[in-house]
Structure 1
Amino acid sequence: MADKGEMVEVDGHRLRLTNLDKVMYPATGTTKRDVIDYYARIAPVLLPHSTNRPATRKRWVHGVGTASKPGDMFFQKNLDDSTPGWVKRREIEHKDHSNEYPLVNDLATLTWLAQIAALEIHVPQWQFGRTGVRHNPDRLVLDLDPGEGAGLAECAEVARLARAILTGMGLDPMPVTSGSKGIHLYAALDGKQDSAAVSAVAHELARALEADHPDLVVSDMKKTLRDGKVLVDWSQNNGNKTTITPYSLRGRERPMVAAPRTWRELASKDLEHLDMEQVLARVKRRGDPLAGLTAGHLGALEPTEQRMAGFDRLEKYRSMRDGSKTPEPVPADAAEPTDGQSFVIQEHHARRLHYDFRLEHDGVLVSWAIPKNVPTDRKTNHLAVQTEDHPLEYGSFEGTIPKGEYGAGEVTIWDSGTYELEKWRDGEEVIATLHGEKHGSHRYALIHTGGNGRAGGAHSSNNWLIHLMADADEPHHAPPPKKVPSKKRATKAPPSPMLATLGTAQTLRHEKDWAFEMKWDGYRAIAEVRDGTVRLLSRNGNDLTAAWPEFDELAEAIDGDAIFDAEIVALNKAGRPDFSRLQSRAKLTKKAEITKARESTPAHLFVFDILERNGESLVGESYDERRAALLDAVTERGAIRVPPAFEGDLDSAIASSRELKLEGVMAKRRDAVYRPGRRSDDWVKIKHHRSQEVVVVGWRPGAGNRSHRVGSLLLGIPEKDGLRYIGRVGTGFTEKELDDLRGRLARMQRATSPVSDVPGADARDAHWVTPKLVGEVEFAEWTPTGRLRQASWRGLRADKTVADVTLETPS
């Protein structure tokens, strides 16, 4: 039978691992499972040396074999069609062809390489920049390769001789025993010289060593000259050459490693190559001796004003146009840096109608082609394909590009004006507010999709999405209330959480009577600390403690015992709550998975209320008194946070919430007590958008290539007489969610509908399920017949039961 393997999730990417018990190193019995485990454990120190470098792989699909019968090995440069779509990659043009290489930037890619038996990973001494520009080398390498009759001791001696020369040049060489025969010497560079210049220096250094030590060193590649000597191979500084990545395995008889070493180790008479177990143990004990290779010097590679002055950003633009044949501006000189912030959107009737979106930045118009023009609503993102930079003069260009020329067709200005820049991360994200002369002011975000040149064609690495954003507001923060001591006696069991009603800003009277907090997009939890032990309970009483071990820090953040009302929140890279990331963590149950997820999906416990302290109940105290006691009790540390509150300033609270892209604001009456387990008008939810918790009652299959998957969910909401049908939702799902839902729903299938008032069009091909799953949707409004209009899925609510779901209507 075929090995179906194990489906795992690594850094949010799904990957099937197969043939895990296959022996890759027969001499030691090392299996593919062992190889994958090694790369997972060594990733934190390996990845800094491979990131953004195009990787050539040496693969042993059937294992390395033995000394008498070596396994079959092959080099692989170009990526094949089986490569997962999420693998980051870059294309390199060669004389007669181009190759697409993976970038080993993350654990998921490293795991995939181990799965396909790519035991050795080789990379050049240069990196791609964030926009795909090929940088100058950021490191020099010498490969000290012993000839017949020489060994590791001779290589170490030559390494010390080379170190003296390199140190005199102002460099700090660091040794790596290659795991094969010799030693590699690395030295960090500032990126000011190209590969040819670095190779020339390395060649001269090799010749100098040979001249001073002719009996020990050779710089010529001829094998006949190498007996009893050490070849100082300088050629790996060529921009087309690669070297084994530090910490990569080797395809030897045993699982040896290219292992960074210290100079003290090189002086030992017992110096030898290290295998993977030895390397894992020493890294755990002493870290990465090669860490200095990536620390600090790479800053010289960033596009500073000085570096940009020598870089012609219009070279590609000019290469695609003949100024004698097209009316487009074709300046002869390189672009000069500017501080301007102009923009233009041009309607371009080329082979296909599209719109060219251009922002002035660093002396050029950074450009994207948008097939459907800029989006007009915040629920729809449009594709934007980044193209070559254009000259500033193009901002006023209108005319007809002749047939046969690049971009042939009519160009007119759809809108132009100036923009306010909020964020510019090259190759990743741009946020700006455009002030147009024709279409007014709009705030847009351009977000790179991480495309990879597969699904989207050869240039999908240039694919972005453009998103219409809400207008930005400046947040203002009010000081916290003064601390007030508390005196009530304790309750014996943790109280249930107090619940809020839905309202609007107009709901509140006498704004000064209210305090305002952010509405965090997470899982509600009661956190209890007893005798230094932390216990977390969900809103429906489930014990969450094991799933969130990082919150054990809460016991260290306070003195004594306490009970808190809190929200478990997962933050994205921008530091904003991300409910989908939280969901992926909440599903984990195995200790090893949870431990790994703590690094890939860090979570925080936002403690916003205190219900008991050192045996004294605080639920009968006012909000102001509890807030003061909370600030006095908790010292923020690690994953433990006390979010801010705003006193009597709703506008500032709403502005901050919008800026942070949160759900909305929680208004809490300052003189109100805490009402465990009760929904009260003393707490009011004010949301930026409408949302509703729902019960899944069935699903309908999709169309086309989604016919075997969930196309939409059918939804209900509890009422006195049972569940009422409120419509369906078919957007907002990730591919991963659709796969997960299909499996869950298959186990819940039933023959009859749990709701009675489903329209025939929705019921026609419906699959009904037992109504147990609770989710949440965003929507535009309720229809007159009580249906959701324009619903979008937000995710499952594992922290809620059907009994918790109520109709959310403003009071």
Structure 2
Amino acid sequence: MVRAAFDGGPGATPIEVTLTNLDKVLYPETGTTKGEVIAYYTAIAPAILPHLAGRPVTRKRWPDGVAEASFFEKNLPGHAPAWLARQVIEHSDRRVTYPLVESEAGMAWIGQQAALEVHVPQWRFAGHRPGPATRIVFDLDPGPGAGLPECAAVALAVKEIVEGAGMRVYPVTSGSKGIHLYVPLDRVLGPGGASTVAKQLATDLEKLHPDLVTATMAKEVRRGKVLLDWSQNNPAKTTISPYSLRGRAHPDVAAPRTWAEIADTASLRHLRFDEVLARWRDDGDLLAGLDPPFAVGAAPHDSDALAKYRSMRDPARTPEPVPAAPPTAGSGDRFVVQEHHARRLHWDVRLERDGVLASWAVPKGPPTSPSQNRLAVRTEDHPLEYLDFHGVIPRGEYGGGEMTIWDRGTYETEKWRDDEVIVRFHGDTLTGRYALIRTRADQWLMHLMRDQPPEAIPPPRVAAASAKDTLSGEEPASAARGRPAEGTGGQRHRDAPFPRDLAPMLATPGEVSGLDPGQWCFETKWDGFRVLATLDGDDLVLRSRSGADVTGRYPRFAAAAAELSGHRVVLDGEMVVFDDRGVPDISLLQADPARAEFVAFDLLYLDGTSLVRKRFADRRRVLEALGATAPSLLVPPPLADNGADAVRLSAERGLEGVLAKRLDSVYLPGKRGQSWLKHRNWRTREVIVGGYRRSAARDFASLLVGVPVGDELVYAGRVGTGFSEADLRALGPRLRASQRPTCPFTTELTAVERKDAIWVDPVITGRVRFMRWTETGRLWHPAWLGEKR
């Protein structure tokens, strides 16, 4: 038994979850353990949680693994941890308490329960009652004689009809047999309205394609056809959640897909959990537009608006006020700000509203200047008794740590909407007009407003010039003229606080060849490991996309950092290892990270100036100036002047692809935008066969291949497609003749990768086509091109 700490949600203290039997095998055919299930669910939490938010979670559990019996569990057991949020539904025959899974810790609890499948309805709670459906789902279930290709054909037909009606549809391979299609609703439908709409579409499609589609549940009419099941839109029904595992022989997942993948029926298959995790890390959530933001704790204030607050606290273990009665209205104009020394220091801003305290956690405290925007995370409503609360919440309890009153007083409301709040504070410390603006889900910004029009912020070119001048220690006159007078409470634009928690901006797949070269810059898409480099004096830190500190993994960056000594810098770039031709090779990076060099392609902060909100063209200009002062800092030039040439050159040089960036675009930390577009090349690679897996239908199911790195053979993945009949006839006998008892790969393989492997002498060399390398050094979607003779 171990106790592991997991993220408890925005603004919350990490939560310890007891984990047991981590080595227990839940998927016997692949050897996948309970520990691997928990690792997947906690890693995929940022992707799955938006699709669970506000929905009652039904779990399907396999305590003894998928080879044994399973059972559905709706009601939350009495021994469930107190920190789990919950909602009660009064069914006709019973009262059921459902969990609301809202955090990484909640997903760890799901995995600990061996709840492999997570099912939810298509509606969310509105206050403490089931609300209207937010989406329609179609379950494409193949009958006998039909399979994924037939489901894909039906999915494309549904897409044509739905998009013709001006709506969007998202495909998900179910991980079981068929495909799920989700349609987000931009309007409220009446009771049963979603089922009615879905049934009508299914019936119409059955008439259009009677040989392929049926809307009838009866099994006798489903042979060779696809059931377009509309019934899961009934409010009483649930559907497997996107990103949920399936309790089948292999650890496949209900996986979001692109429409290009659905159309490629020859290659379409269900995806394993490790593949889905790698896809999400690289491309983000393909269902990002499906479910509208759902602010945790922001349910409408009905007769018991404190139910969530109570569900997260045990009055016997915390000194916090936990009133038993529903809230009653007070004066409605009071506020309190509490300094909260939890695991992460933050300030809780609470405004009295409708008998409760609407609450936001502000990690860096309320802003003191109009030039600041502070992150504010909406949390659960608190009771009015919290206006006077101060004390120590015991360690291990929700929000554990010391809490003191930082300021309190009254406020006036100027505007209060679901996405914007403007108030004027009258406190001892907090005074003036403040705005709270929601950016997404429970993420808000807190901003100190000016009572008069703000002074003009220097345009990007001025800011860029100021940053350049910083390199020589000189200050341009334009910056001096724009400096606020001493004692005014203003802040110089160039004195932005040093950012330590930025996340990389992400690119969206798109066509780059036809983009206007006057508005876009075309760069190399690097085949490496993305990092943000922060240098604050002599303090150097490299962080991965997930925020992990990877400084020790890449020692060569210290040389470039030494040349920047004395500067305060945040750089965006990639760690790469170049092969003998000067082309980045991620297999070399995986084999020896210590050889990696840092390629810088963006500059986010320099010596007191934040460049995040400046144009890319200006950021690029300052980056090139910085690179000229530090020869060890690689700042490659753009790949070409236009998109078509960039695509051609990247393919000719064997590069991963092209990244196109709008010249006037600002940097969007942690977000994926249309102002950065990425084009990937199909790539080819010479590989050496080191093993294979058997197939009941042919000599082998797939080849296990590697790439030579010096005297080592580094495992690169499994190739299962692209073989012609001639390839199969030629390779089968040679594989059988070269079998050996030991693995020829020098790198470590996972238990799943080793399972059912038959090793061979590494004598067969071939070429494969693939899209890219994964972060774990595996070929992504490889196909066999032929043997090298």
Normalised TM-score (structure 2): 0.44
Normalised TM-score (structure 1): 0.43
Choose 1 or 2 for highest CA Rg: 1
